[in-house]
Amino acid sequence: MGKTRSAPTLNDVASHAGVSTATVSRCLNSPNQVVETTRVRVLQVIEELGYTPNFAARVMAAKRSFTIGAIIPTMDNAIFARGLQAFQNELRQNGYTLLVSSSDYKPEIEKEQIRALVARGADGLLLIGHERENEIYDYLKRHQVPALVAWSYLPDARQPSVGFSNRDAMFALAQDVINTGHRRIAMISGVTAGNDRAQRRVQGVRDALQANGICADDMRVIETTYEIDSGAHAFRDLMSRTPRPTAIICGNDVLAVGALREARRMDVSVPDEVSITGFDDIELAEIASPALTTVHVPHREMGRKAAQELIAMVNGTSKGVSTCIDTHIVYRASLATPPNGA
């Protein structure tokens, strides 16, 4: 009976690649700190030998897991995909692994997932939005797990964030809708309970109406889940009322695409009879028919900067610095002047 071949070690990799064990470790844990030619050679040897790092030993030596947890509200659509991909890419370049879970927009599920990730040794957490109980932040502080908020920026919030002002971004879009000549404006919003991003987008529209002498209380707002079908149902509801709105501002692009679909089914011309706008500027916005006027959120920049800040917090080189990312409006075909006489 032949001898069982032992698993390759860190020393084996270093010997075959002609480098030190420290260099091999840097290639695995901090690849951006290694010259490319050396990194490529080391990684090739790792592949050839079938070497797998001893994760348990690494955790014991460093007293950390090199794992970051992220809890996002949903995986059902592309709202968070770009930002999370950039977040993961930056983590990987710095030797961290990302664990992702979804809360389905339910605070009680998010709380369970936070505790589960902490129990599994996550070094830090990325959370979406500021709306949650203070006891969660107290729990994270007791366990010395840094947490950073993304997709929302509130300068006075307890927790640091890398995000954008949802209120200001939506205010700017609503102002442009008003400047185009619209006065009968309605909104299809995400559910605002427990969602500070949705709350502040609605507030941004209301503030723009008030700033232009339009009664914000007269604006019809339908809250619904972030799904294409939900946007379609809400559009039909709004357009069945008298007088019809001449512009419908949607809380995100998914809802807006649903509204566009229902407009075609109802034989309502966009933008000739009603204008529709979105928020986020995901790929759907550009390929929709007509293409959506929307707020562009720089998701990749936000994800990359969030990862950099959270790594600094985990390493103890930052106490948590908030960063506000600028958004801008992308003008496409779904917004035009209101129909004559409206």
Where residue 259 sits, what CATH number does that domain have?
3.40.50.2300
Domain assignment present for residue 60? The answer is no
Question: Could you give the residue ranges of the DSSP H alpha helices within the chain?
Answer: 10-17, 21-29, 36-49, 55-62, 81-93, 107-119, 134-142, 166-179, 196-211, 228-239, 253-265, 283-287, 299-315
Residues in CB range of 12: below 8 A, 6 or more apart: 49, 51
Q: Given this model, what pLDDT does residue 1 score?
A: 46
Indicate the residue type of 322.
S
Query: Is residue 75 located within the same domain as residue 44?
Result: no
What span, in angstroms and rounded, lies between the C-alpha atoms of 114 and 51? Answer: 32
Find, among 288, 279, 324, the residue nearest to 174 by Cα: 279
pTM of the model: 0.82
Q: Given this model, what pLDDT does residue 168 score?
A: 98
Q: Given this model, what pLDDT does residue 4 score?
A: 55
Query: Is residue 211 located within the same domain as residue 242?
Result: yes
Domain assignment present for residue 245? The answer is yes
Provide the token pair at 54.
């001893």
Q: Domain holding 23: CATH number? A: 1.10.260.40
Domain assignment present for residue 1? The answer is no
Walk along the chain (342 residues) and give the pLDDT tens digit of each residue.
Answer: 445 567 788 888 999 999 998 898 888 877 888 899 999 999 999 888 888 765 545 554 556 789 999 999 999 878 899 999 999 999 999 999 999 999 999 999 999 999 999 988 899 999 999 999 999 999 999 999 999 999 999 988 999 999 999 999 999 999 999 999 999 999 999 999 999 999 999 999 999 999 999 999 999 999 999 999 999 999 999 999 999 999 999 999 999 999 999 999 999 999 999 999 999 999 999 999 999 999 999 999 999 999 999 999 999 999 999 999 999 999 999 999 999 866
What span, in angstroms and rounded, lies between the C-alpha atoms of 333 and 20? Answer: 59
Domain assignment present for residue 277? The answer is yes
Query: Is residue 185 located within the same domain as residue 289?
Result: yes
Domain assignment present for residue 333? The answer is no
Q: Given this model, what pLDDT does residue 50 score?
A: 81
Residues in CB range of 312: below 8 A, 6 or more apart: 318
Query: Is residue 252 located within the same domain as residue 199?
Result: yes
Query: Is residue 128 located within the same domain as residue 277?
Result: no
Burial class for 256, CB neighbours closer than 10 Å (0-12, 13-18, 19+): buried
Number of domains in the chain: 3
Domain assignment present for residue 128? The answer is yes
Query: Is residue 127 located within the same domain as residue 154?
Result: yes
Query: Is residue 223 located within the same domain as residue 134?
Result: no
The DSSP result for 8-21, as a single string, is P-HHHHHHHHTS-H
CB atoms inside a 10 Å sphere around CB 242: 5
Kindly state the greatest CA–CA separation across the chain.
92
Query: Is residue 176 located within the same domain as residue 153?
Result: no
Domain assignment present for residue 41? The answer is yes
Cα angle 328, 166, 158; round to 5: 130
Query: Is residue 92 located within the same domain as residue 237?
Result: no
Domain assignment present for residue 178? The answer is yes
Query: Is residue 217 located within the same domain as residue 271?
Result: yes
Query: Is residue 188 located within the same domain as residue 267?
Result: yes
C-alpha 81, offset from chain centre: 7
Q: Given this model, what pLDDT does residue 74 score?
A: 92
Query: Is residue 293 located within the same domain as residue 170?
Result: yes
Q: For residue 39, give its domain range.
A: 10-53
